[in-house]
Structure 1
Amino acid sequence: MRHERDNARAKIDRAMMSVNLLGEFGISVDGRRIHSDLGRSGRKMAALLFAFPGRLYRRERIADLCWPELDPERSRAALNSALWRLRQILCQDPSSERGQNLRSIGSDIVLEPQSWLKVDSCVLAGTATLASDQIETSQMPCMKSIRSAIDLYDGQFLEAEDFDQFAAERERIHTCFVNLSTIALERYASAGAYPDAISICHKVLSFDPFHELFIRRLIALLFLNEQRAGALRFYEKWKSALRAEIGVDPMPNTARVGQQVRCCQSPTDFDEIRQIVFSSEDNGGA
Structure 2
Amino acid sequence: MIHIQLFGSLSVQHAMPDGNINPLTLTTKVGDILAFLSLFRGRYFSRDELVSEIWEDNYGKEVSQGAFNTTLWRLRKKIEKKYYRAGELFRRDCRGFLCFRKEADVYLDIEEFKRKACQSTTNRVDKLTQTQVNSLCESVELYSADILGNFTAEWALREREKIRRVYFNVLRKLIEYYRFQKDYRSSIRYAQLILDNEPLREDVHRELMELYELSGQRAMALRQFEECRNLLRKELAIPPMRQTMQLYHQIAEHALHPEHKLKTESDELPIETFNVLEQLPPELTDQFPVDTVGPSTDSSPGKLINQARKHIALADERLRKTIKHFNK
Please show how residues 17-56 of structure 1 align to structure 2 within 5 Å: 17-30=2-15, 32=21, 34-39=23-28, 41-56=29-44
Residue type of the alignment partner of 1:270: L
Aligned to 1:67: 55
Alignment RMSD: 2.9
> Is 1:270 aligned to residue 262 of structure 2?
yes
Kept in 2: contact 1:90–1:99 (CA 8 A)? no
In the alignment, the residues of structure 2 paired with residue 169 and residue 179 of structure 1 have an alpha-carbon distance, to the nearest angstrom, of 16
In the alignment, the residues of structure 2 paired with residue 126 and residue 216 of structure 1 have an alpha-carbon distance, to the nearest angstrom, of 30
In the alignment, the residues of structure 1 paired with residue 249 and residue 61 of structure 2 have an alpha-carbon distance, to the nearest angstrom, of 62
Residue type of the alignment partner of 2:155: Q
In the alignment, the residues of structure 1 paired with residue 22 and residue 225 of structure 2 have an alpha-carbon distance, to the nearest angstrom, of 41
Cα offset, 1:110, TM superposition: 0.3
Kept in 1: contact 2:92–2:99 (CA 8 A)? yes
Please show how residues 1-286 of structure 1 align to structure 2 within 5 Å: 16-30=1-15, 32=21, 34-39=23-28, 41-68=29-56, 69=59, 72=62, 74-91=63-80, 96-97=84-85, 100-105=88-93, 106-114=95-103, 116-135=105-124, 140=129, 142-264=132-254, 265=257, 269-270=261-262, 272=264
TM-score by length of 1: 0.77
Kept in 1: contact 2:4–2:107 (CA 8 A)? yes
Partner deviation per Cα, 1:156-212 (whole Å, 9 max, x = no partner) = 332332211233322221111111111111111222221111111111111111112
Cα offset, 1:98, TM superposition: 6.0
Taking a change above 3 Å as real, the CA distance of residues 92 and 214 of structure 1, as seen in their structure-2 partners, is farther
Residue type of the alignment partner of 1:24: S
Partner deviation per Cα, 1:232-284 (whole Å, 9 max, x = no partner) = 112212311221122112222222222222222456633638xxxxxxxxxxx
Partner deviation per Cα, 1:91-114 (whole Å, 9 max, x = no partner) = 4996x4467221122320100124
Cα offset, 1:52, TM superposition: 1.3
Kept in 2: contact 1:150–1:180 (CA 8 A)? yes
Kept in 2: contact 1:63–1:76 (CA 8 A)? no
Residue type of the alignment partner of 2:261: D
Aligned to 1:12: none
Cα offset, 1:149, TM superposition: 0.5
Which 10-residue stretch deviates more, 80-89 or 100-109?
80-89
Kept in 2: contact 1:124–1:173 (CA 8 A)? no
Kept in 2: contact 1:42–1:66 (CA 8 A)? no
Taking a change above 3 Å as real, the CA distance of residues 198 and 62 of structure 1, as seen in their structure-2 partners, is same
Identity %: 22
Match of 1:149, SS? helix
In the alignment, the residues of structure 2 paired with residue 90 and residue 268 of structure 1 have an alpha-carbon distance, to the nearest angstrom, of 65
**Structure 1: which 5+ residue stretches go unaligned?**
1-15, 274-286
Cα offset, 1:71, TM superposition: 5.8
Residue type of the alignment partner of 2:4: V
**Structure 2: which 5+ residue stretches go unaligned?**
266-328
Kept in 2: contact 1:22–1:156 (CA 8 A)? yes
Partner deviation per Cα, 1:112-159 (whole Å, 9 max, x = no partner) = 1247423333333333332135559x5646111111111222233323
Residue type of the alignment partner of 2:249: Q
Task: State the structure with bigger RCO (CA 8 A, min sep 6), 1 or 2.
Answer: 1
Alignment size in residue pairs? 255
Residue type of the alignment partner of 1:163: A
Residue type of the alignment partner of 2:92: S
Kept in 2: contact 1:260–1:269 (CA 8 A)? no
Kept in 2: contact 1:51–1:119 (CA 8 A)? no
Aligned to 1:278: none
Cα offset, 1:84, TM superposition: 3.0
Kept in 2: contact 1:53–1:111 (CA 8 A)? yes
